[in-house]
Amino acid sequence: MSKRGQPDRLLTYFKAETWPLAVVTVTGLVYNIGLAFGPVLEGKLAQCLLDIMGGTTGVPAMVRLAVLYVAVTSFVQATRYFKRFYVRRFANNVNRSMKRVLYDNLLHTSREELERAGAGNLMTRAISDVDACVEGMRKFTTEVFDTGVALAAYFVLLLVYDWRLALLTGLFPPVAFFLAERMKKPVSRCAAVYKESAGRLNGATLERISGAVTYRVFGLEADRDRAYGECLADYEKKAAAANLWENTLPPLYQVVSMLGAVLILWLGGKNVAGTGWAHWDIAAFTAFLTCFTKLSVKTSKAAKLFNSVQKAQVSWRRVKPLLKEVEEEPELPPAPAAELEVSDLGFAYPGGSEVLKHISFTAKPGQVIGVTGPVACGKSTLGKAFLCELPYTGSIRFGGRELRDMTDAERAAVVGYLSHQPELLSASVKDNVLLGSDGPAAPWLAAACLTEEVAAMPQGEETAVGSGGVRLSGGQQARLALARTLRHKRPLLILDDPFSAVDMTTEGEIMEHLRALAGDSIILLLSHRLDRFSELDGVLWMEQGTVLAGSHETLMETCPAYAGLYNAQKGGDGRGE
Amino acid sequence: MENKISRIFLRELKRAWPLTLALLAAVAGAVLLGLTPPLVLERAVNSLTEGNGIPLSLALLYFGTLALAGIFDSGKAFLLTVLGQKLTRALRSAMCRKLSRLSASWFAGREPGAVASRFVGDVDTVESLFSSGIVSMAVDVCKVLSILAVIFVKSRGLGILMLLVTPLLLWMTRTFQKRMLRSQLQNRAAVSRVSHHVPETIHCIRMVHTLRKERYMADRYDSAIQDSYQAMEKSNFYDSVYSPIVLIISALVVAVMMVCAALGGGMQELFGMSVGTAVAVIAYVGKVFGPLESIGMEIQSVQSAVAGVRRIREFLSEPEEKATDASLTLDALRRSGKPAVEVADVTFSYDGERNVLEDCAFTVTEGESVTLTGRTGAGKSTVFKLLLGLYRPQVGAVRIYGADAALIPPRLRRRLFGYVEQAFHLVPGTVLDQITLWDEGITREKAEEAARLVGLHETICTLEQGYDTPCREGLFSQGQFQLLAIARAVAADPAILLLDEITANLDGDTEQAVLTALERAAARRTVVSISHRLYRRTGGRQIPI
């Protein structure tokens, strides 16, 4: 299901489901036309009984008729089963296709866009719109047959029996339908008012409960109960009114529509007696009456057809602009190792002041560079600059190529990034490491010192970590994310504070694994814990957006702030902040 | 205890007795009138077979019975709605009253949203238990029974046939509905996975982008949707196959009946009927299946409502607090000559295991200003809760002007204590309401005076509607809300001021403003404070806890 033309046209989806729709059409026609034969046969059964009593025919005729009746009913009902089943399958398939397109769009929306203007919410709402829209399409398809075709079939049958009587009695159901349509406005108005009141009541309930202790302290509970009582009274009134309109009117419309039955009994009786417009037997009389009753029931449901179309249209209009075809970019293999050269890098958030200014440093393949500084010095921002989510000034070159000039796919083949939010999926431990790629997860878990802990989990690597990793501790989450980053190694790895929730010994072990695994990748280690910084190949000291680059030793001599921080952590209990 | 919900319902039904009676009448009418149209039809057809035609009066009678049945149906729906709403209202207000009688510790351990769902969702299920459960089930059972009775009278053979088929059908209906429910539950679980996938993707979008996992995520989404569809197809299957089976069975019953009626001899005796009866009886057979299907659904809704009923019953039978002593008055207390606050050898624990306070004792005389000191977690805030009567000590006594703190009635509490909470609790209403808390005894002038005291009057006046501006988060800064909390505490001119530690992060200037306001509020009052910051400013006696 890679490419489908014009995902923003409804017809595309109908076309894609030709086969289920074909089954629906055939079975829908057979079923609804076949439905009309039920009353005909029932009439014939009654007539046959009369004939047997009159001695004009025998029992075998009745047996034949009865068998035919059961056979026809069974056949018609069987087609009904297929019709229902395939209509739903059609709806399911369309739903899935639409959601897939929406989701593809979501996946290719930038993080900034998602954060801005609640694009994420928009997407969530769009998904529920898809549900509403497809539900509408399903109802429409169903009702076209169950209402449209069935009404036509019944009416044709009535015309065949007695066209004058059919036209005359046929006047009443539309009147009932028209009445129902006229009443739609007050009905929906009451429903809206009721919904509002329900919302107010829910708000008041939550407020009464969450404020309970405050109200008690101030001796206000009685007051609040009274206010809540008013909300309840209002809700009772609105709910009763809304339900009144919705539930009490339909039986009355039915009554209007059944006015036609008087004419059938009176004029139809004349037909049987031979003094009317047509010549009827008992079979024709009962068939006509049953058919008419069914027709009037169907008519009262005709409004559903229009309602479902209307609702679907509203949701479709909202979803449509979001259904765009997306270009899928190729997944490239990791880029080869190369040198990193940052010169005069600057960065500011839109509308904000400069967070990074005049940053320059270089790193060779295989080097691990520590980045540190006081709180809010901009080190996380420096890490994010490599993602090019927002434009930077100056230059970041990897292997001589400017990062901002690469395509997203090329950049992703160069830069690996681990944010201090672990961004875990609610999947198993293993899936979180591999994310669908091949091979075992064990080596990467080992690198992140997770082997023992994972083995102790109820289902080992297959243990689900829960939504966002809730079933793991903070440290485990961070290390699992690290294992994932290592599995998807890139020649430039940016690790934002991977050790903040990890104890010292584990940190040491992970550092060793990191060096061994990283090979000729460059690692930028953003951290506020400096215990291991003396072992690194270089250190960047950040303060107020600028950087002082050097080795650990030189910085210890030239940068008193760095030396102070380092000594404080070494000298303290080793858990310095 | 067991029957509290039913007692609430019964009381309400008794109170609205005309409606209850009308509902009973409407139900009876709907059931009986529903039976009549086929009977009229029978007469009409019989009159036809005798060659007499149908008189207009009979035609009108047919319509009349149809119309009346419709009107009664409509009336039944209406009365059921109105009564159902009355019952939910009664239940909700009983639950609301219960809130005031629950202990403060009950609230401490609970998520407000979860409690609110007792009020909203669970009460709705109880309402549906009444309207679409019990009552409509009774109606449907009556319908089925009455139709069976009529069939029995008209044709004994068919009656026996129906008696055999009906339980079978009901059993089949239930089996189908149970299976459907099971696959619907599966589907719901799958659907929640699907809908969880979207926010999760948004949350992890950076990881997805940097690791180029768009494909993988899309595949995961697809498989979640697929799971939900497999569950749904199962429920679709049951849904699609049920009605056809019922209608085929109904056709079979009619066919057997007609053949038997046509047979002579012994069968004739059992099934013998006129043509009119045959027509009427076919109509009746069709009518039995509708209510049968509804009964199945009603059993379902009764079952699903049971959990809701149990939760509400649990809520209503939670242990309650002792009633307060309504005979206490502010004047009597203040003129009692007893110390304003007296904590006598109190030992207190929230859970009955770990004591938060042990042998705590101190006295504060009227007009005195004291600061409670001690590490965090030592129980300073707990002392406040005891003073306010939210909790009772296990050992010892807490007295306010000589009266047991827990017995002070709510009305008096506002005049006795001015409590400045750790964080401001916004109440629904205007800025003025925040200060007065709807107390009519606090005039607008008094509220403005309180606002002036804390230095918030000017700020409020610059708002578009001044004191009548609807108050919401973000209208004021954190510090200003803190000032508003102080204004609220002093507006009722309380005898004792309780100052909790302010937790908000305030900048230097705001902190000074808050401290100044507290200082002014504390003047000429008995003050119990746990604010370090205020102590540093004003001094006073320290009481270690």
Dump pLDDT digits (tens) for B121-177: 788 878 877 777 788 888 888 888 888 888 888 888 888 888 888 888 888 888 887
Residue A297: C-alpha distances to residues A178, A300, A355, A455 (Å):
14, 5, 71, 64
Element (H, E) at B426: none
Q: Which of B:391-420 have CB within 8 Å of A? A: 409-414, 417, 419
Separation between Cα atoms, residue A415 and residue A408, nearest integer Å: 10
DSSP 8-state secondary structure symbol assigned to residue A503: -
Element (H, E) at A355: strand A354-363
Q: Helix, strand or coil for residue B359?
A: strand
Query: B97 contacts in A (CB within 8 Å)?
Result: 225
pLDDT value of residue A234: 94
- With beta carbons less than 8 A apart as the criterion, state whether B382 and B357 touch: yes
* B45 in contact with A, Cβ within 8 Å: yes
* Res. A342 pLDDT band, cuts 50 70 90: very high
Residue in A closest to B491 by C-alpha: A218
* A283 in contact with B, Cβ within 8 Å: no
Share of chain B above pLDDT 90, in %: 5
Within 10 A of B107 (CB to CB), how many other CB atoms are there? 18
pLDDT per residue as tens digits for the range B431-449? 998 898 888 888 889 899 8
* B529 in contact with A, Cβ within 8 Å: no
Query: A229 contacts in B (CB within 8 Å)?
Result: 93, 96
Q: Which residue type is seen at B221?
A: Y
Element (H, E) at B419: strand B417-420
pLDDT value of residue B266: 61
Probe site for chain A from B12, B258, B400, B411 (most A CB atoms < 10 A): B258
Residue A576 clears pLDDT 50, i.e. is over it: no
CB contact (8 A) between residue B96 and residue A228:
yes
Residue A379: C-alpha distances to residues A370, A371, B221, B510 (Å):
10, 7, 35, 31
- With beta carbons less than 8 A apart as the criterion, state whether A462 and A429 touch: yes
Separation between Cα atoms, residue B515 and residue B169, nearest integer Å: 77
CB contact (8 A) between residue B196 and residue A85:
no
Probe site for chain A from B76, B95, B210 (most A CB atoms < 10 A): B210
Separation between Cα atoms, residue B224 and residue B211, nearest integer Å: 21
Average pLDDT, chain A: 85
Alpha-helical segments (H) within B155-272: 156-203, 205-210, 214-262, 265-271
* A358 in contact with B, Cβ within 8 Å: no
Q: Which string of DSSP letters, residue by residue, matches A513-558? A: HHHHHHTT-EEEEE-S--TTGGGSSEEEEEETTEEEEE-HHHHHHH
pLDDT value of residue A341: 93
DSSP 8-state secondary structure symbol assigned to residue A327: P
Helix-helix angle B275-316:A37-54, to 10 degrees? 130
pLDDT per residue as tens digits for the range A193-247? 888 888 888 888 888 888 888 888 888 888 889 989 999 999 999 988 888 887 7
- With beta carbons less than 8 A apart as the criterion, state whether B491 and B447 touch: yes
* Range of weakest confidence among A293-297, A476-480, B126-130, B494-498: B126-130
Total residue length of chain B:
545
CB contact (8 A) between residue A210 and residue B112:
yes
CB contact (8 A) between residue B53 and residue A416:
no
Query: Minimal CA–CA distance to A132: which of A91, A170, A78?
Result: A91
Query: Minimal CA–CA distance to A84: which of A38, A23, A129?
Result: A23
* A230 in contact with B, Cβ within 8 Å: no
Separation between Cα atoms, residue A571 and residue A575, nearest integer Å: 10
Query: B196 contacts in A (CB within 8 Å)?
Result: 426, 467
pLDDT value of residue A232: 93
Separation between Cα atoms, residue A367 and residue A523, nearest integer Å: 6
Separation between Cα atoms, residue A489 and residue A443, nearest integer Å: 13
Residue A298 clears pLDDT 90, i.e. is over it: no
* Range of weakest confidence among A384-388, B387-391, B530-534: B530-534
Q: Which residues contact A249 (CB under 8 A, 6 or more apart)?
A: A180, A183, A187, B74
Residue B376 clears pLDDT 80, i.e. is over it: no
* Res. B331 pLDDT band, cuts 50 70 90: confident
Q: Which string of DSSP letters, residue by residue, matches A335-398? A: PPP--EEEEEEEEE-TTS-EEEEEEEEEE-TT-EEEEE-STTSSHHHHHHHTTTSS--EEEEEE
* Res. A378 pLDDT band, cuts 50 70 90: confident
* A556 in contact with B, Cβ within 8 Å: no
So what's the architecture of B330-544 in CATH? 3-Layer(aba) Sandwich (3.40)
Residue in B closest to A271 by C-alpha: B53
Residue A498 clears pLDDT 50, i.e. is over it: yes
Residue A484 clears pLDDT 90, i.e. is over it: yes
Q: Tokens for B122?
A: 């669970």
* Res. B2 pLDDT band, cuts 50 70 90: very low
Separation between Cα atoms, residue B103 and residue B63, nearest integer Å: 62
Separation between Cα atoms, residue A260 and residue A292, nearest integer Å: 8
Span A103-114, average pLDDT: 83
Burial A383-394 (b: 16+ CB within 10 A, else e): bbbbbbeeebeb
Q: Tokens for A50?
A: 């009369």
Q: Which residues contact B94 (CB under 8 A, 6 or more apart)?
A: B8, B316
Within 10 A of A106 (CB to CB), how many other CB atoms are there? 29
Query: Minimal CA–CA distance to B49: which of A350, A53, A76, A173?
Result: A53
Separation between Cα atoms, residue A148 and residue B241, nearest integer Å: 22
Closest CB from B48, B88, B229 relative to A285: B48
Span A404-426, average pLDDT: 88
pLDDT value of residue A571: 59
User: Which residue is it, tokens 């075709």?
Assistant: A149
Closest CB from B51, B251, B258 relative to A49: B258
CA B374 to the chain's CA centroid:
42
Query: B200 contacts in A (CB within 8 Å)?
Result: 425-426, 467-468
* Res. A577 pLDDT band, cuts 50 70 90: very low
Give the dihedral sign, CA A152/A157/A158/A163.
Answer: positive
Closest CB from A220, A244, A259 relative to B437: A220
Query: Minimal CA–CA distance to A371: which of A232, A241, A529, A240?
Result: A529
* A187 in contact with B, Cβ within 8 Å: no
Span B189-197, average pLDDT: 78
Pairing of strands B526-529, B357-364: unpaired
Separation between Cα atoms, residue A269 and residue B109, nearest integer Å: 75
ipTM attached to this prediction: 0.79
Residue in B closest to A493 by C-alpha: B210
Residue B469: C-alpha distances to residues B441, B455, B461, B466, B481 (Å):
21, 18, 10, 6, 15
Q: Which residue type is seen at B429?
A: G
Query: Minimal CA–CA distance to B195: which of A462, A129, A481?
Result: A129
Residue B219 clears pLDDT 80, i.e. is over it: yes
* A471 in contact with B, Cβ within 8 Å: no
* A470 in contact with B, Cβ within 8 Å: no
Backbone φ and ψ for B211, nearest 5 degrees, come out as -95, 0
Per-domain boundaries in chain B = 1-154+300-321, 330-544
Largest CA distance in chain B: 112
Query: A–B: how many Cβ contacts below 8 A?
Result: 342
Q: Which of A:503-542 have CB within 8 Å of B? A: none
Residue A282: C-alpha distances to residues A67, A285, B48 (Å):
20, 5, 8
Within 10 A of B190 (CB to CB), how many other CB atoms are there? 19
* Range of weakest confidence among A107-116, A117-126, B68-77, B193-202: A117-126
Q: Tokens for B38?
A: 């086929």
The CA dihedral of B180, B183, B185, B186, to the nearest 10 degrees, is 180
pLDDT value of residue A118: 61
Probe site for chain B from A217, A408, A431 (most B CB atoms < 10 A): A217
In the sheet with B541-544, reading across from the earlier edge strand, the strands are: B417-420, B496-499, B526-529, B369-373, B541-544
The alpha-carbon gap from A296 to the nearest alpha carbon of chain B, in Å, equals 13
CB contact (8 A) between residue B48 and residue A269:
yes
Query: Minimal CA–CA distance to A480: which of A442, A521, A433, A439?
Result: A433
DSSP 8-state secondary structure symbol assigned to residue A460: G
pLDDT value of residue A574: 40
Separation between Cα atoms, residue B1 and residue B114, nearest integer Å: 23
Q: Which residue type is seen at A485?
A: T
Q: Tokens for A83?
A: 């019709």
* A244 in contact with B, Cβ within 8 Å: yes
pLDDT value of residue B22: 93
Span A313-342, average pLDDT: 84
Residue in A closest to B410 by C-alpha: A219
Span B76-83, average pLDDT: 88
* Res. A573 pLDDT band, cuts 50 70 90: very low
* Res. A396 pLDDT band, cuts 50 70 90: very high
Within 10 A of B351 (CB to CB), how many other CB atoms are there? 9
What's the CATH code, domain B1-154+300-321? 1.20.1560.10
CA B115 to the chain's CA centroid:
8
* A407 in contact with B, Cβ within 8 Å: no
CB contact (8 A) between residue A229 and residue B196:
no
* A53 in contact with B, Cβ within 8 Å: yes
* A229 in contact with B, Cβ within 8 Å: yes
Probe site for chain A from B57, B275, B382 (most A CB atoms < 10 A): B275
pLDDT value of residue A230: 92
Separation between Cα atoms, residue A480 and residue A426, nearest integer Å: 13
CA A349 to the chain's CA centroid:
31
The CA dihedral of B168, B171, B176, B182, to the nearest 10 degrees, is -160
Q: Tokens for B183?
A: 């696959």
Beta bridge partners of B470: B430
Span A74-84, average pLDDT: 90
Q: Which residues contact B136 (CB under 8 A, 6 or more apart)?
A: B80, B294, B298
Residue B483 clears pLDDT 60, i.e. is over it: yes
The alpha-carbon gap from A517 to the nearest alpha carbon of chain B, in Å, equals 18
Average pLDDT, chain B: 83
